[in-house]
Structure formats: structure tokens, C-alpha cells
Amino acid sequence: MCGIVGIYSHTPVAAELFESLIHLQHRGQDAAGMLTSDERFYTKHGLGLVKEIFAPHDVLALKGNVGIAHTRYPTAGGYSETDIQPLWVGSPVGVAVAHNGNLVNYEQLANEIRLRQHHHLNTALDSEVLLHIFADQLATVHTHLEEASFFEQLCIAIKKIYDQVEGSYSVVSVVIGKGLIAFRDPHGIRPLVFGERKRNDGASDYIFASETTMFYALGFEPKGDIQPGEVVYVSPLGTFFRRIMEQQSFAPCAFEYVYFARPDSTINGVSVYRSRLRMGQNLARQWKLSYPDILPDVVIPAPFTANTAALSFAHELGVRYSEGLYKNPFIGRTFIMPNQTMRSRSVRYKLTPQKTEIENKNVLIVDDSIVRGTTSREIVKMVREFGAKEIYFVSTCPPIKNPCFYGIDIPSRKELIAAHCNEEEIRHYLNVDRLLYQTQEDLVEAITRRGEHQIKRPCMACMDGVYVCGDITEDKIQELEQKRESERSK
């Protein structure tokens, strides 16, 4: 999972790309990069948090009124500076991309590029394969074409990507001298939204991003989503083109709503905040059916992604809501940390129980999900140490039993507690008195209840094992699991 943004403006974009990355920091804390363009590319990237990478003079050195940026946590490739996006090539055409997602048939595509086309791959990133395919398709497009004709040829080129590439990909791209491009895979698995900013002279600036989080701060009005299989192009003159080239079953990632997206975002026509309120409401109703005689004294969230659901859960039960765990906002998100040792260690660094809210009380903890189980277990242990009488634990997400191959860092079934333990075994491992998971049906209802959207059923492969694209057989699952384990061991 990563955060991407592309901006076309009538003034230099570097400062606004930087601010956008700040607003997308929650989507990746491993690395970040920016690329801008006039008649050439200007780049800056590095490992770490956005504010650690870019000094004011770095931003000022990035020239041009069009640019793209990326914040990363790795699900493919390594942890070195060579594996930081945006990526670019100068030949056969100057093109750069920032990509959010995962390509399921990466190995097949990489072998085609290396062995048959005799191109060198400089990284282990599936995004580099996507860049090479895109650049090769653009090589047949005459860059001197007027903008409408260029868009026609661009659509043909990207349609060939849709024909070859399996997996999830939301992409923003810059072509030197031709403007800004955005496109999304035919299932729309990873989010991609856009906004418009009207200028005093009547001209428009445009932004494309993983989420709407920066729109208000930068003065952009949300205009909706790039549709599954859609290509959007903004020419150097600011002309806006869009066309759906190939659309299949719309299956946006459910985990965006459960955990990843910021609550103030609207993606795929659905408010993330409202969907999480509904998750808490549905889960509380299920609690009343499952445990009608058990009422906690206090409901506390595992901050911060569970705060919204915990609030509505407590309201539905008529129980006091309390932020009984204080979170240090300067510690990173444990789920996206690169190894289990760092995740476990950081739980106590970032969370401090509040004794007055916990001691001698029956405490119900609401968390967004239980993935590996170690973080949840550590939270329970801390709450017990501060004097809770009984502890109940509920998850707004159903049991996660399968790896994700579309961009979430859920790499292997052997790391997933629900893949090899039943709910009673998980309850015992967590050391809680009661455990309740959201049902898959209630999660889908919470996401799809409201909003102007076309979602029938989101992608829930990590929960139900239904992979919406790519030939994901058991052999393929084992192959991809082994590949990721090998990458991590390095």
C-alpha cells in the first residue's frame, strides 16, 4: 500500500506535492519521492518520513508546473534507495510513473522484458515493469500530435497495458512535454480520486491522488473517482480528457475502509468516516445478539483507526466511550512496520493506558482488525496490567485468513493467526474473556449502505479468499508467499 499524487497547475507544483505527501504519510512511512517536469525531469527522494527527506531548498529546486509524488511502504521490492518512486526513463520517451498496487504476474512480465526485449531492470519493483511496458507502448505514439490525437493514441497504449497486466494498479504519470496522465486497473482495487481548482482567470488546476485528504488544504474541489479501467489526461494547455477503456467487476479494497484510508477521506463515493461509524454500529448489534447479558463498563478504541467505530459501538450499546489508551502521535503505524520485532516493540512505545479509565472495570476494546495477533495481545496485556476486571475484544474486520496480492502487506498465511486458529483459540491467545469478529456481510453492508457508488461487493480476498483478478491458484499463492518471504529475509 502506498500513497500517490499528481498535480497539474499553472504555477510550480513542488510545494503542493510536498504538502500532499504530508497528507498521505499514513499510507507509507518507509520512503518518499517527488518528480516534477518542464522540459526535463527534476527529482528528489529518500528513505524515511516526508519531513525528514525534503528540506525547503530541495522543494525549491524541483521546477515545473506538473509533477507526481509517492510515499511508500513496501509490498514488493526491497528497502534501498533504488526502490523509491516515482520511477522514470528517458528513452524511448521521457516518462515517469508513481504506482500504488501490486502486479500478480510480475515475474512473467519481468522475464518478457529482460529476456525477450533485452531491457535492464534496475530494481525489484513491480512498478518498474509497469513503467517499461508503458514507455514501450508510448514509443509508438508521435509526441508532436495535437492534444486530442495524442489522447486517442494514449488510450490505445494503455489498453495494451490492461490486456497484459494482472493485479492492482492506480497510476499517475508525467510525459515530458505532454502533461499529466492517470489511470486505474479495470477492477478499481486501489483508490484514485481527483479534484479541480478554478482560477480567477477561469482556467483550472487538477489533482489526482490516493485520497482526498489534501484537497481542502490546497483549495481543490473533489470531483469524484477515476473509474475502473479509466484513462485521464491533462494536456499542457490544461485540456481535460477522460475515457473508460476497460471495465470489469468493480471491487475496491475493503481494507481501505477498515484501516488504511484516513477517516476524512471519501473514496469510491463512500465516506470512510461514515463507513467506520456503520462498522461499529453493526458490530454492536451483533454483540447484543451474541452476548445479551454482558454489558461492559467502558468501550475503548485501539487508537486511532478504531476510534470512529468504537464511538458508534458505545453509542449503540448505551455505554460510556473513553480513550483509555493514549497514543503518542509521533510513533509510526505498527501494521506497516517492516518486521514483527519492530511492531511488537513499538506497541508499548506508542500506547499508554489511562488507569482511571481501566482499573476495576469490565473493558471492551474495539480494534479495526486482528492480523498477526501479536499487537492485539500486547494491548490486552497492557490493559490487564492497569487493573481491568474483564476484557472483551471486538474487531470491525472479519477474520483475515489469506495473503493479499493487491497491495496490502499481508504476505503469508503462516503469519495470519486466523489462518490456523479458530476463534476460541484466538480468544485464548489474546487472553480475553470474550471475542467477537464482524461478519463479512455486515462489513459489506457498512461500506455500501450510503454514498453514490457502484460497489456491489468490495475486494475481500484476505478474508474470503476470492481473488478478483489474476490466475490465483494454490500453487500461485505458495509461489508468491515464498517470494515475499525471500525478499524479507534479505
Phi and psi for 407 in degrees, rounded to 5? 125, -5
- Of 427, 425, 434, nearest to 362 (Cα)? 434
> Cα(282)–Cα(302) distance, rounded to whole angstroms?
18
Q: How many CA atoms does the CB half-sphere of 190 hold within 13 Å?
A: 27
Supply the DSSP string of 63-131, one letter for each residue: -SSEEEEEEE--SSS-SSGGG-S-EEE-SSS-EEEEEEEEETTHHHHHHIIIIIS-PPP-SS-HHHHHH
CA–CA distances in Å: residue 262 to residues 255, 305, 462, 463: 12, 8, 20, 21
Q: How many CB atoms lie within 10 A of CB 60?
A: 11
Residue whose cell numbers read 454492536: 284
337, containing H or E segment: none
DSSP type of residue 48: S
- Of 391, 12, 10, 69, nearest to 206 (Cα)? 10
Cell numbers given for 89:
526513463
Q: Which member of 2, 155, 397, 462 is catalytic?
A: 2
Distance of CA 206 to the CA centre of its chain: 21
Residue whose cell numbers read 502487506: 409
462 catalytic? Reply is no
Q: Known catalytic residues? A: 2
